[in-house]
Chain A
Amino acid sequence: MERVIMGNHAASYGAQLARAQVIAAYPITPQTQIIEMLSEFCADGRLNAKFITVESEHSAMAATIGAATAGARTFTATSSHGLALMHEMLHWAAGARLPIVMAEVNRAMGPGWSIWTDQNDSLSQRDTGWMQVYCESNQEVLDSVIQGYKIAETVLLPLMIVIDAFVLSHTSEAVDIPDIATVDRFLPPRKAQYKLDVTTPHAFGGLVTPSHYMEMRYKMQKAMEEALGVMEDVDREFQQIFGRSYGLLEEYRMDDAEVVLVTSGTITSTAREVIDSLREEGQRIGLLKMRVFRPFPTERARNALACAQKIAVIDRNISFGQGGIFAQEVRSALYDAGTRTPLFNFIVGLGGRDVTPTSLRNIATFIFEHETPPEDIIWWEVNK
């Protein structure tokens, strides 16, 4: 069924179709519509689930962990400071190997207060053990939620679907909402192998001494590595049933590209337009969409960028004292390639500053005019 819906509601439909059983969430702009729609679904029976209106995001994740440990399929959503408040529990969810799926609306961190889009909130959590998928369209949001459960419940790690604030969360697009019977075929109910069960009592999450802790962490990393293959398998299966697939990353017009823009989130869809326009002008420029950030698809990224002569990573975030985070990770992936391709790191759009086609075009021009990056970090359209 095709509907014009906002990005947030796409996430709600995703959770509904996936038959989430327990939802514990706390409102924060610009996530609120996700949970408001789910509240209605639960109240009127369109979704058979328990909705817990917790009193903070930290409690939201704690309650979600509780429900997941008891074997339920769970869902939550947050943004920015809410995600930051959950930080302790994000570590817990991953260490507890719980297949929680969460919608994370990228929003800038205060002070000053900002409700607009920025990637620092989600990227600050990149070490917690959560898988991270950055979405470009409302359809992708809905589909990623459904895929997300299958992936998470296979590798036993939690997964967050990242959605740009307002640009994606509040923008309406046409979305194909699959019928639930089809989704059921793709995604059966969760069968938790390890759970709280009075018939086979276990203790979960207790003290682990140095003798055993590293092995558990090793297994988490292994699960992350395994997730790369699992994501591709799930994506392929999704393609067969629903006719859509997304991949870990997407190469757009990169076959003979000399310059490659590396983007994530909604900047990607703006960039497609700019790439097309520049191509018409004869520029050999391509676009690499980074969709899955965790686990980082190192080998695939390295292969995709092998032939590029200049790489420009567009970061709507910054790790203070170092640089753009996507740039760090891409640079790191390229280290073993031995190519030393010049890599330009552009910091754009922090705090929701609009990244227009003109901005991107100007970035492209800048790259054409420079052999190597003049600075480690190139702050774009900032009044210095």
Chain B
Amino acid sequence: MKDHPAAITEINLAHEAEMPPLPMSIGTTLVNKTGTWRYFRPFYEDKTPPCNNACPAGEDIVGYLALLKEGRYEEAWRLLTQENPFPGVCGRVCPHPCESECNRIELGGAVAIHTLERFLAGEAAARKLSFVAAQRIDEEPVVVIGAGPAGLACAYHLALWGHPVTVYEAAAKPGGMMRLIPPYRLPAHVLDREIANIEALGVRILTGQRLGGNLSWGALQHYQAVFLAVGQSRSRKLGIAGEKAEGVLSGIDFLARIERGEAVRLGRRVAIIGGGNTAMDAARTARRSGAEVTILYRRSRKEMPAAEAEITEAEEEGIAIHYLTAPVKIWTENSRVKELECIKMALGEPDASGRPRPVPLPGSEHRIPVDTILPALGQEADLSFLDETIQIAQGQIATDSATVTSRQGVFAGGDVATGYGTVAHAIGSGKRAALAIHHYLRGESLESFPPLSQAVHRAQKSLSPTVVRLENLNQDRLTFSARPSQRRLDAQTRQQSFDEVNLPLDEFTVRFEAERCFSCGICNACDTCLIHCPDVAIKRDGLGRYRIDYDYCKGCNICAVECPRDAMSTEEESKWKE
């Protein structure tokens, strides 16, 4: 507003001499504080976006998409990695529950968050970005067992708080289950780089150290805090005759050997038992060696736990899938696998998992010739190293929601405590453990655990835990915008190489994709509230957002209704409350 003589707010007409002889204004209506009219006051209230809420690692997705949209890649990457140090990994292998919850689904398709996460990881690599080290607050190290996603995430967050951390890893290389993901899904250099970033913070990773082997449980006793993140290293058995024959190798072990560069003699025909992502990984890796690959799964496609894209890509690569088929017996010759006897199944009533129980169909037995059988039926934890001070429940280390075990100073997370089976959940679990350990070491009790969706570092900000759904948005202000399709290498090329299957999006498309984000629940300064206020009561706050001038706001609440993304709320004016 210009500083005009007319723009005065104080009017004193006590003296007749000051009055003009005609009805001419000498002041402004700013003297009239219309805020007293109000019954309901609107206010800015950021709420929880559904993607943030769904992310197992607690990423501030809406936050970093906003930065990415403006080309502020480094800031976006830093905001993302404030919660999750593995965007390159998660952007490729996470089942992206964020996208399943995205409110954009019905208006052109979910935002391709995972692709944008991957893009940011790539940008960070290209610019050689690294994490910023924190001031040491402690001299005593915290010990983490297992350099998988849970262990490394825990180490990372503790390091950011200034704790020294030592990670013991049984395998020759850190990474845990992430290391076993085939390179056509997760190139090794991506994983290596993100682990190296964590090490660069001062986290010590000591490989070849097996707890219960060359590293004793007793040796850990004098550490002030221990985080057990050993995962589920034992593969479930088939439980059928012939299992111990030559040519039967668990899917996990197969992938581990391939990762180590060992030659594995597969023969011509390979059968994979199982329907999860490990089964797909094993099948597609085997396929790339030129074998004929068949997957046997005892339920139908609908019940297959593997990601839909994985299944489709496997089929495109010439892998046969036999549904409703279960192995019954392994026939050998010279102690080597020769044939696999199978039986067809039918779907019956739901079992404990909620899925239809497979029921064998008598008389449907048949044999298929095989050279190698790779069972991928899931993993279990090897807890033989523990003593009785650590309670176990259903084959997992028992913990409360804050990863605290039955023993003071010992925390557990990742698959060994939750059995959840995804990288993202393990990362979230590791972060939770870091929070618990950090408070424990400071002698503070963790009264209430902030929801992970609010992100550990954002817990101080006031963010309503209300999750924003499509019906909360002002759909009059949203438009249809199509999601770009995922480009992949063609199936022919894929069968002959371990090159990454999913191709990245170009930068232009990435920036556009970030614009498709509605920013559910989070104000992104779109100016809608500002321009629609009939009383000019919404002003810029100088910090990129807005403030309501309650001296004048009449409480029409047009701003709250028009806000496209439900970043405002309304409450009854306190003077009218009982």
Contacts and interface: CB of A to CB of B under 8 A. Distances in A.
Do A and B interact directly, with beta carbons closer than 8 Å? yes
Interface of A: 95-97, 156, 194, 200-206, 208, 212, 215-216, 219-220, 223
Contacts of B24: 194, 202-204
Interface stretch (B13-21, B362-370, B395-403, B444-452): B13-21
B4 A201 contact: yes
Given A212-B13, A215-B16, A200 B23 contact: no
A351 B26 CA distance: 48
A303 B554 CA distance: 63
Contact of A204 (B13, B19, B23): B23
Nearest to B19: A215
Contact of B4 (A156, A200, A216): A200
B22 interface: yes
A97 to B, nearest CB: 4
Nearest to A97: B22
A219 B26 CA distance: 18
Given A200-B4, A212-B13, A206 B20 contact: no
A332 B531 CA distance: 62
27 contacts: A95-B22, A96-B22, A96-B23, A97-B22, A194-B24, A200-B4, A200-B6, A201-B6, A202-B24, A202-B25, A202-B26, A203-B25, A204-B22, A204-B23, A204-B24, A204-B25, A205-B22, A206-B23, A206-B25, A208-B23, A212-B13, A215-B16, A216-B19, A216-B21, A216-B22, A219-B21, A223-B21
B213 interface: no
A298 B19 CA distance: 29
B5 interface: yes
Contacts of B4: 200-201
B128 to A, nearest CB: 58
A194 B20 contact: yes
Contacts of A212: 13, 19
Contacts of B25: 202-204, 206
8 A-B pairs with least C-beta separation: A203-B25, A97-B22, A219-B21, A201-B6, A202-B24, A202-B25, A208-B23, A204-B24
A220 B22 CA distance: 9
Nearest to A194: B24
B23 A95 contact: yes
B88 to A, nearest CB: 60
A205 B21 CA distance: 11
B22 A194 contact: yes
Interface in B1-54: 4-6, 13, 16, 19-26
A307 B21 CA distance: 40
A176 B404 CA distance: 113
Nearest to B29: A203
Given A202-B26, A215-B16, A156 B21 contact: yes
Contacts of A203: 24-25
A84 to B, nearest CB: 25
Contacts of A208: 23
Nearest to B25: A203
B3 to A, nearest CB: 12
Interface of B: 4-6, 13, 16, 19-26
A95 B21 CA distance: 9
A95 B23 CA distance: 8
A223 B20 CA distance: 13
B19 A202 contact: no
A219 B21 CA distance: 6
Most buried by A among B4, B13, B16, B22: B22
B1 to A, nearest CB: 12
Given A202-B6, A212-B19, A216-B19, 17 more contacts: A96-B22, A96-B23, A156-B22, A194-B24, A200-B5, A201-B4, A201-B6, A204-B22, A204-B23, A204-B25, A206-B23, A208-B23, A216-B21, A216-B22, A216-B23, A220-B21, A223-B21
Nearest to A199: B4
Contacts of B5: 200
A200 B3 CA distance: 11
Contacts of B23: 95-96, 204-206, 208, 216
Most buried by A among B5, B16, B21: B21
B51 to A, nearest CB: 49
Nearest to B2: A201
Contacts of A97: 21-22
A194 to B, nearest CB: 5
Contacts of A204: 22-25
Nearest to B7: A201
Contacts of A223: 21
A129 B205 CA distance: 98
A98 to B, nearest CB: 9
A149 B535 CA distance: 43
Most buried by B among A97, A203, A204, A220: A203
A205 B13 CA distance: 17
A212 B23 CA distance: 9
A208 B21 CA distance: 12
Contacts of B22: 95-97, 156, 194, 204-205, 216
Contacts of B21: 97, 156, 216, 219-220, 223
B329 to A, nearest CB: 96
A148 B22 CA distance: 21
Contacts of A205: 22-23
A149 to B, nearest CB: 19
Contacts of B13: 212
A200 B23 CA distance: 16
A18 to B, nearest CB: 23
Nearest to A206: B23
Nearest to A201: B6
A348 to B, nearest CB: 40
B218 to A, nearest CB: 86
Contacts of A216: 19, 21-23
Nearest to A195: B24
A200 to B, nearest CB: 6
Contacts of B16: 215
A119 B23 CA distance: 32
A248 B476 CA distance: 72
A130 to B, nearest CB: 15
B23 to A, nearest CB: 5
Contacts of A194: 20, 22, 24
A201 to B, nearest CB: 5
B440 to A, nearest CB: 66
Contacts of A95: 22-23
A290 B22 CA distance: 30
Nearest to B16: A215
B350 to A, nearest CB: 74
A194 B19 CA distance: 13
B139 to A, nearest CB: 70
Contacts of A156: 21-22
A206 B27 CA distance: 13
